[in-house]
Amino acid sequence: MTFKLAASPHSHQRRTTQQVMRWVYLALIPGVIALIYFFGWGVVWQLGLAIITAWGAEAACMGLRGRPIGFAWRDHTALVTAILLAISIPGLAPWWLIVIGTAFSIVVVKHVYGGVGQNIFNPAMAGYVLLLISFPVQMTSWPLPQEISQFDLSFMDSASVIFTGFTPAGYNLEQLRMGADGLTMATPLDSLRTALNHQLTMSEALQQPIFGDLAGLGWQWVNIAFLLGGLVLLKQRIISWHIPGGMLLGLLIPATLAWMFAPDQSVSPLMHLLSGATMLGAFFIATDPVTAATSNRGRLYFGLLIGFIVFAIRTWGGYPDAVAFAVLLANMTVPIIDKYTQPVAYGHGGRS
């Protein structure tokens, strides 16, 4: 038997940024397909607009910084940012919304801070929060799931709504969001918040047609699809379990306690896990290696913090889904988390 001596680091797998990002956007495919299936072709148009804007903004910034422009297409970080932002906004949102958000994510959040590896905030979530605060009506106008919608929009019908605000038949977005009872419907988490604010019990709130067997119609399967993609990333060791596990645990523990003590006034743990952007956030957003904590223990604390903030904002805050805010707030704590969770070098851990 022979042994090979080599200097550290000793790594069995060496992946480039391009390879890691490729695995990320491939793992997103199940969730994207589920979004298209349940919420229509508008998702495809948003993806196209976001990718074109991201590549253009990336190339422009690289050129201005004197860097090779071709790197904008070879490095897949801009592509992943575009995909994450595009699938986070309503599929029928006006075209300029995704253009503004994507350009802000690439130009300001990424390149103003120095480009790849230098940004302190998650670019996609910073762009999302900018849009949510600036254009709250457009950002909360999600279409109904296809199974309860009165309208079956084609690929070109969706394009017409995105670029003109109306379908070829003359329906606007507000009309497209009306259910069979003539009432405009919101997302499951938003519907629950509104119902509870009107003093309805949880069982009464869940009678609305927007809810399914597990959580919200469409949303429950979208979250399961993103969970499957996340498990692929775990299996390929693109991400570790600490951040997604910590985030889901940080959300599940307070949600379970609230459900146990006040079931008629609290969202169920399963609803928290399978609604909104929970699984997308846990496996694809919070795990961004640039803006997350670096040690395993730090990643676990980072994930736990995100999960608790999501629960707190959903329960007491002003927004029904809180993943973007939670991730950005946790990004600000990374330096202090890293300071107190870095492993101590051998021989330097004792008292002086």
Per-residue pLDDT of the chain (352 residues; tens, 9 = 90+): 555 554 444 445 567 888 899 999 999 999 999 999 999 999 999 999 999 999 999 999 988 888 888 776 778 899 999 999 999 999 999 999 999 999 999 999 999 988 877 889 999 999 999 999 999 988 988 888 887 777 888 999 999 999 999 989 888 888 777 754 444 566 788 888 877 777 777 777 788 778 877 788 889 999 999 999 999 999 999 999 999 999 999 999 999 999 999 888 888 899 999 998 999 999 999 999 899 999 999 999 999 999 999 999 998 888 778 899 999 999 999 999 999 998 766 655 554 4
First to last CA, the chain: 43
Predicted confidence at residue 199, as pLDDT, reads: 78
Domain locations in the chain? 185-341
Predicted confidence at residue 349, as pLDDT, reads: 57
Burial of residue 213, with CB atoms counted within 10 A of its CB: 0-12 exposed, 13-18 middle, 19 or more buried = exposed
Candidates 289, 284, 303; CA nearest to 125 is 284
Helices (H) and strands (E) in the chain, counts: 18, 0
Residue 136, strand partner residues:
none
Please provide the size of the chain in residues: 352
Which residues, other chains included, contact 190 with Cβ-Cβ below 8 Å and sequence gap of 6+?
A: 140, 320, 321
Orientation of helix 219-235 relative to helix 29-39, angle to 10°:
170
pTM: 0.89
Q: How far apart are CA 274 and CA 327, in angstroms?
A: 18
Predicted confidence at residue 1, as pLDDT, reads: 52
Give the CA angle between residues 90, 91, 92 to the nearest 5°: 95
